[in-house]
Structure 1
């Protein structure tokens, strides 16, 4: 799952070397914290959060087989 988030995020940003994903276990489920260069935050979020919502949809669909709850947080 971490690799999927990295591939998608690196394709969206101008500074792919600054993309980082940290995986943490939480009481909510598995939380993936995505951090990008400060100039690329808007590109990952998108207009009215559409790209962030699409990213979260793809990741949750990929995790549907494992029956785990997956959360993607974007850290600026």
Structure 2
């Protein structure tokens, strides 16, 4: 179950800061499509509860941003 810090993250809003409890897990991936602005996808893990998150930075989609991926087990 996500911790109170994860529950406070505003999802699907680009540019929102999540907090220091999310630790990047691996390099950011840059995805490009012909004629479109590059989209950056970065994966994170919560240092408190272990939940996994991804941050999608897509300039063409205002609803990109933090996305919950998986609860810790």
TM norm structure 2: 0.29
**Bigger fraction of residues in helix:** 1
**Bigger fraction of residues in strand:** 2
* Structure with larger Rg: 2
